[in-house]
Chain A
Amino acid sequence: MDNGASSYRRFLEGDDTGIIEIVNDYKDGLILYLNGYVNNLYVAEELTEDTFFRLITKKPRYSGKSTFKSWLYAIGRNTAVDSIRRNSRQLNTPIEDMENYLSEEESLEKSYIKDERKIAVHKAFSALNRDYKNILWLVYFEDFTNKDAAVILRKNDRQIKNLLYRAKQALKAELEKEGFIYEEL
């Protein structure tokens, strides 16, 4: 059982510090991951809050079949997909907020990703399609195994391998356009 699971268990037993720990540990990563779905950091932040809100109100059962983090990310993904289907959120950021938006994005990237080269790679994500962004984020930035990524994205191992291969090719092409070589890909 990882720390998130024990925090969640304590929360279910009535200890609210459990959910505070979960928010502290997973908030930033989840925002950046969900940003891959909605292309708007503010909406991704709302979706992240909605994901935690689901946890504290619906209290879904965590079975332990996957890691707590991949379970949480799967709920986040469902929340994002649900939101996109309902199309109830405004995805466009007003022009006047754009400067502030970019600096917030940069600040979040710096605090969460830390490594400058990885930040540069992350910036190249914007040109990729949603599936590629999501798989690359999960495997290269969150260090999920293929199996965990399969749970989150509801695909099987072989589908994940194929998707990852195609995503890497697309990212390489994108980075080469910018004259950037990233040997870890």
Chain B
Amino acid sequence: MKNCDEMVKSLFERREEYVAEQRRKKEAVIGTAASLCCVCMVAVLGLGVWKSGIFDNSPEQTMQDALYPGIKDTFDESKGESPDNPAANNKIIVNQIDDISVAKHNICLFTDDFVSMDNDGLNEYYGVNIFPDVPGDMEEWEEQKEHFGIYRRDGGKGDVYWDTQVLNYSNKDFSRTVNVTVDKGEFPLCDYMLFEETEEKSIINNLEVAIGYSAGGQYYAQFMHKNVGFQISAEGLTEEEFTAVISSLIK
């Protein structure tokens, strides 16, 4: 058996291979994309040349008539600008990117940031009902309610940085269980990949839902509904009962 040093060495070697493989794949994608870009550019240039009127018989335009159309057509010579100085035409636009939240990269949850919520509060936060209808013999676990809530920066007043909820239901002897995990704007973080995104999707109430059944007798489902990611697992349920649980969340 390997000792710690050997295992670490093996891990780093495997990581190098993995990174090299990822790089190869990336280069292949970039190569393909570059080829496509070239084709597109040729098409755009062709169209541009066609539209520029080079084939028109109208009188030839002068520099003063159409200089860098759409970018800059006046020059302040006192600032060094001139038609012969391409730098004078630079146009820098920095866009605000709202999609990537630095807060989401944080891996620690602080208890001071926890904002407790009840069922109604959670539904209001997510903008959708996150509590499913389950078969009559099953009950929501009472003890889980104390964990309902979200984490906000600055002692619970700032930006939201963690909003995953876990809802559990079971019958008396736990032979039948339903687990629902939700996250706003994305699928809940899961270290175990259930779906590869290539599976054929079911349609429930006009929404695409990935549904799976494991050899261990468990049903799994994953879908985005009104910008909320749902992952559901269930044990001991029939297919009809499981789809009814999903359906109750997509109304």
Residue from B15, B141, B174 within 8 A of A57 (CB atoms): B15
Across the interface, do A19 and B109 meet the contact criterion of CB distance under 8 Å? Answer: no
Number of residue pairs spanning A and B whose beta carbons lie under 8 angstroms apart: 69
0/1 per residue, A74-88, Cβ < 8 Å to B? 110010001001000
Residue A113 is within 8 A (CB to CB) of chain B in the complex: no
Residue B18 is within 8 A (CB to CB) of chain A in the complex: yes
Across the interface, do B107 and A12 meet the contact criterion of CB distance under 8 Å? Answer: yes
B107 → chain A closest CB, angstroms: 5
Stretch at the interface among A48-56, A117-125, A132-140: A48-56
Residue from B18, B107, B143, B170 within 8 A of A61 (CB atoms): B107
A89 → chain B closest CB, angstroms: 16
- A42 CA to B7 CA, complexed, in Å: 13
- A157 CA to B168 CA, complexed, in Å: 12
Q: Is the interface of A mostly helix, strand, loop or mixed?
A: helix
A12 → chain B closest CB, angstroms: 7
0/1 per residue, B14-47, Cβ < 8 Å to A? 1100100000000000000000000000000000
Residue of A nearest to B189 (CB): A61
Known A20-B8, A24-B4, A56-B11: A9·B191 in contact at CB below 8 Å: no
Across the interface, do A75 and B11 meet the contact criterion of CB distance under 8 Å? Answer: no
Q: Chain A residues with Cβ under 8 A from B170's Cβ?
A: 156
0/1 per residue, A1-31, Cβ < 8 Å to B? 1000000010010001001100110010001
Across the interface, do B191 and A74 meet the contact criterion of CB distance under 8 Å? Answer: yes
Q: Chain A residues with Cβ under 8 A from B2's Cβ?
A: 45, 49
Across the interface, do B7 and A52 meet the contact criterion of CB distance under 8 Å? Answer: yes
Known A61-B189, A104-B1: A27·B7 in contact at CB below 8 Å: yes
Residues on A close to B: CB < 8 A? 1, 9, 12, 16, 19-20, 23-24, 27, 31, 41-42, 45, 48-49, 52-54, 56-58, 60-65, 74-75, 78, 82, 85, 104, 108, 156-159
Residues on B close to A: CB < 8 A? 1-2, 4, 7-8, 10-12, 14-15, 18, 107-109, 141, 143, 162, 164, 168, 170, 174, 189, 191-192, 214-215
